[in-house]
Amino acid sequence: MRNVPSVVPWALASAVVLALSATPGARQPAVARSAIVFIGDGVDDHQLTIARNYLLGAGGGFSFEYFPYRAGARVLTVLESDPSIPEYVGDSASGGTAIAAGVVTSRGRIATRAGNGQAVPTMLELAAAAGKWTGIVTTSSVTDATPASFVAHINRRFCQGPDDMGPTPTDPRCPEALKANGGLGSIAEQIAVSDVDLLLGGGYRHFDQLDESRVSVVRRARDAGYRLVRDVAGLDAIEGAPGKLIGLFGDDTLPVEWVGEADARARPVEFESDGSVIDPQPFRCVDNPAFGSRPTLEAMTEFALERLGAAPDGFVLMVESASIDKQAHQGRPCGQIGETRALDQAVRVAASFQEQHPDTLILVSSDHGHAAQIIPWPSLFASRAEPQYPPGKVARVRTLEGGVMTVSYGTNENYLEEHTGTQVPVFARGPGGESVRGLMRQSDLFGVVLRALGL
């Protein structure tokens, strides 16, 4: 396993895209044996366009954008205090729950209903009950909201490990989920005794904690039959060995692939003392020196498909590129672009797998929209008597095709950028994918997967 070269040459990318865009057509089986669900966290059309412009040029397209089936998905969320009233901006917990369990819930909830907290079964649980193998691959902690929504049931996404259960000054957290109170424990504790065959990602620190009986979650997982590896060498050594496996390649979210040159990110627009604007310096994206030796999303997906591909009755795998969202929160376009590239590379691995196994459904979608927008620079109103410039923060990125793209973040002035309430795209290929069309609900994707698998 290795890191991959930083730059996808446009011509090569286009050639691969053309190969991937071929519709399976007549040889497409009616029922899927397996399903692979990709989630680009925080990906909407604007975030996709930013990454596409940088990597592939304004006329390019990611591999999944050439899939034969495509839809827009409404991101529906409701108020916890009154689930009959919509909330117009979701999060990874409500979006993850919609996709994983087909239920519209309130922000922060993990596979539980708004208002009453009732647990709802996830597609991984239903697939496991039907004899399929299941897996989760993510660049975040495996206890983070998106992966958690596929495997755990809890009222608050932040209750990731035993140490996170108690109240904070601003949040009551999860007293009802303590085992002493009849609950299932934290997300890590639930993963440790779950049916999921394979989990790869970050988050070791949530497992390196003692539960209410003073037993570590790592120990609980081993007692439940999991092998635990913490680096690529460990993963390579285990290849082919049977049994349940958790790979945790960092303490929390894994380092991202790319950063801006000299750690450049979006900044507030600055002016000279005479009031004239200072053009933000354009920058390129470079490899993140802190990436280290952790496996890429592509490598983890490849490992997962080799392992789950041996399942006698098929599998369901969820793969998340998590830090598109986390980097957008920080106003870091290069982080977003690098993690979108990682998503595309992982999807290509799945598409190659599907070439060999046409009875595989591939879905690519997102949990919610995000903050970044492409804007004109200078502002169209820069030459007015009182020149106007965008509020918030701005980054100017020099794209691989030689242009300069200006990206604006304007959802929060002094803290992290915020999610936005736009619909998100869905791309599909393989049996069952044909029901991905028009305007859907995000929660419909659950039914698309289950129907494709005949469950």
Q: Which is nearer to Zn ion, 164 or 325 (CB)?
A: 325
What is each CA distance from 335 to 146, 302, 376, in whole angstroms? 19, 22, 21
Q: To which residue do tokens 């590896």 refer?
A: 229
Q: Which is nearer to Zn ion, 80 or 208 (CB)?
A: 80
List helix spans (H) across 115-271: 123-129, 145-151, 187-192, 204-207, 217-223, 232-238
Of 106, 105, 101, 89, the closest CA to residue 44 belongs to: 89
Q: Which stretch binds Zn ion (CB under 5 A): 8-16, 250-258, 321-329, 347-355?
A: 321-329
Report whether 283 contacts 397 (CB < 8 A).
Answer: yes
Q: According to the binding rule CB under 5 A, does residue 257 interact with Zn ion?
A: no
Q: Which is nearer to Zn ion, 47 or 406 (CB)?
A: 47
Q: Which is nearer to Zn ion, 325 or 344 (CB)?
A: 325
Q: Which is nearer to Zn ion, 96 or 161 (CB)?
A: 96
Q: Which is nearer to Zn ion, 325 or 339 (CB)?
A: 325
Read off the amino acid at residue 271: F
Q: According to the binding rule CB under 5 A, does residue 87 interact with Zn ion?
A: no
Q: According to the binding rule CB under 5 A, does residue 367 interact with Zn ion?
A: no
Structure tokens at 264: 């450049």
Report whether 149 contacts 100 (CB < 8 A).
Answer: yes
Backbone phi, then psi, for 406, in 5-degree steps?
-100, 125
Q: Count residues contacting Zn ion (CB under 5 A)? A: 1
For residue 27, give the DSSP letter: G
User: What's the Rg (C-alpha) of the chain?
Assistant: 22
Q: According to the binding rule CB under 5 A, does residue 298 interact with Zn ion?
A: no
Query: Who contacts 413 (Cβ-Cβ below 8 Å, separation ≥6)?
Result: 391, 392
Q: According to the binding rule CB under 5 A, does residue 325 interact with Zn ion?
A: yes
Is 443 considered catalytic here? no
Report whether 48 contacts 344 (CB < 8 A).
Answer: no
Would you say the C-alpha torsion 341, 342, 347, 348 has a positive or negative sign?
Answer: positive
Structure tokens at 37: 């669900």
Q: Tell the smallest beta-carbon distance from residue 256 to Zn ion (Å).
A: 14
Q: Which stretch binds Zn ion (CB under 5 A): 5-13, 59-67, 296-304, 318-326?
A: 318-326
State CA 344 to chain mean position distance: 12
Query: Alpha-carbon distance 83 to 118, whole Å?
Result: 13
Q: Which is nearer to Zn ion, 91 or 189 (CB)?
A: 91
Instruction: State which residue has the least CB distance to Zn ion.
Output: 325
Choice among 21, 34, 84, 92 that is catalytic: 92
Q: Tell the smallest beta-carbon distance from residue 381 to Zn ion (Å).
A: 31
Q: Which is nearer to Zn ion, 92 or 194 (CB)?
A: 92
Q: According to the binding rule CB under 5 A, does residue 417 interact with Zn ion?
A: no
Q: Tell the smallest beta-carbon distance from residue 235 to Zn ion (Å).
A: 28
Q: Which stretch binds Zn ion (CB under 5 A): 2-10, 305-313, 317-325, 397-405?
A: 317-325
Q: According to the binding rule CB under 5 A, does residue 320 interact with Zn ion?
A: no
Report whether 428 contacts 361 (CB < 8 A).
Answer: yes
Q: According to the binding rule CB under 5 A, does residue 125 interact with Zn ion?
A: no
List helix spans (H) across 87-203: 92-101, 123-129, 145-151, 187-192
Q: Which stretch binds Zn ion (CB under 5 A): 81-89, 232-240, 324-332, 435-443?
A: 324-332
Query: Alpha-carbon distance 42 to 77, whole Å?
Result: 15
Q: Which stretch binds Zn ion (CB under 5 A): 59-67, 260-268, 319-327, 434-442?
A: 319-327
Q: How many residues does the chain have?
A: 455
Task: List contacts with Zn ion (CB under 5 A).
Answer: 325
Supply the residues annotated as catalytic. Answer: 92
